[in-house]
Amino acid sequence: MRVLLVDDEEQLVSTLAERLELRGIHAGWATGGEEALERVKSETFDLAVLDVKMPKISGIELKKRLQVLCPAMKFIFLTGHGSEEDFTAGAAEAGSDFYLIKPVKIEALLEKMNEVMRHPGKSI
Amino acid sequence: MSEPESIETCGLRCFGAISASLSHELKNALAIINEHAGLLEDMMLMAGTGRPLDPDRLKLLAGNVMKQVQRADTMIKHMNQFAHSVDVTIACSDLEDALTLAIALNSRTAVMKGGTLVLEPSATPVRITTCPFWVQTLIWRSLNELLERAGADRQLHLCARKTSDGAAIIFSPVDHMLTNIHIPDVLNHLKATQALDIQTRELWIILPADITMNRTD
């Protein structure tokens, strides 16, 4: 599995990527939407884990733009808020099953990643 | 144009928006600490299987955790300072201190809108007697409107300045199409007025030196 992590907190995505690599998952990371869009031009990812609230390009908007470039890509949303507004937006985009609230346990993230890859039809 | 919101609604929205923004930042700090703790645990598990630990790496990870703890502590101090702004209705305080706090409280919102906030130090202390919470509400509301119009990658400068009969909060550069910030109730409550200088692209919010003087309410 190849996963792209996108969050404007660099220490968060770089450390999470390292932990996923230790578990045999190829993980790339980007700290913003523009960087992520650039990265998918030269690398292939099966799945993207996106922060909902990011500067310039939100996670919701980024998903739409990534889907154009990578139609087969699956998505999981991460958020720090856990607010009703974020849940509604994230769940509408990825399904309520694929929406996680920070801080997230890596086991929970791995479970969601495996689930979204096993049941691609559940993710838009 | 929609009706200006009531002062009560504006105050509550300010309190809610700032609390939500700070809690989001706190969550990010906690998430980073969480991942670092997880990575340390992973490294310990690997050490148990014979993979040597790298002391420099451990030192770096510990340093990162400490930075995030300091970041979270600073955010909580700002949150606490803001929460206590409702303790007194009126207080004598330094307007530049209020701007410093406002920038700390609103910086993430500014970044999310593609802008940054910069404090321009004032030449002399600017002390006024006013309502601390409503000054924060006024700045929050003004920043929201100005940042919406500022566009991406724009710096918005804030400055406190003494005037002949009070003080002013100056925002610059503001959009040349700006006419007014639509917060008449908050301005009235603070006995404040606003003035726009098209030439310098500065928006002045002018506050009395002492709000209790000739106060009617």
Question: Which domain CATH number covers A47?
Answer: 3.40.50.2300
Instruction: Compute how many other C-beta atoms are within 10 angstroms of the C-beta atom of residue B57.
Output: 12
**pLDDT tens profile B62-119:** 999 999 999 999 999 999 999 999 999 999 999 999 999 999 999 999 998 888 999 9
Collapsed DSSP state (helix, strand, coil) of residue B205: strand
Cβ <8 Å between A55 and B114:
yes
Nearest one of A39, A82, A31 to A59, comparing CA atoms: A31
Q: What is the pLDDT of residues A51-64, one digit of tens each?
A: 988 998 999 999 99
Inter-chain residue contact B31 with A12, CB threshold 8 Å:
yes
Number of structural domains chain A divides into: 1
Residue A6 lies in a domain: yes
Q: Which residues pair with B157 in a beta bridge?
A: B118, B172
| Nearest CA distance, A32 vs chain B (angstrom) | 11
> In the predicted model, is pLDDT for residue A89 greater than 80?
no
All structural domains of chain B with their residue ranges? 7-85, 89-208
A59/chain B closest Cα distance in angstroms = 12
Which residues lie closer than 8 Å to B184 by C-beta, 6 or more apart? B4
CA distance to A31, A45, A66, A108, B38, per residue, from A4 (Å): 11, 6, 11, 17, 19
Q: Report how many Cβ contacts below 8 Å link chain A to chain B.
A: 60
Q: Do A49 and A3 form a contact (C-beta atoms < 8 A)?
A: yes
Pick from B35, B64, B112: which is nearest to A16 by CB? B35
Q: What is the ipTM of this complex?
A: 0.87
Question: Is position A25 within any domain?
Answer: yes
Residues B142 and B93: their CA atoms lie apart, in Å, by: 20
- Residue A5, pLDDT score: 97
Instruction: Map residue B210 onto helix, strand or coil.
Output: strand
Q: Which residues contact B195 (CB under 8 A, 6 or more apart)?
A: B203, B204, B206
Cβ contact A69:A44 at 8 Å: no
- Say which CATH architecture domain B7-85 belongs to: Orthogonal Bundle (1.10)
Residue range B89-208 forms a domain whose CATH class is alpha beta
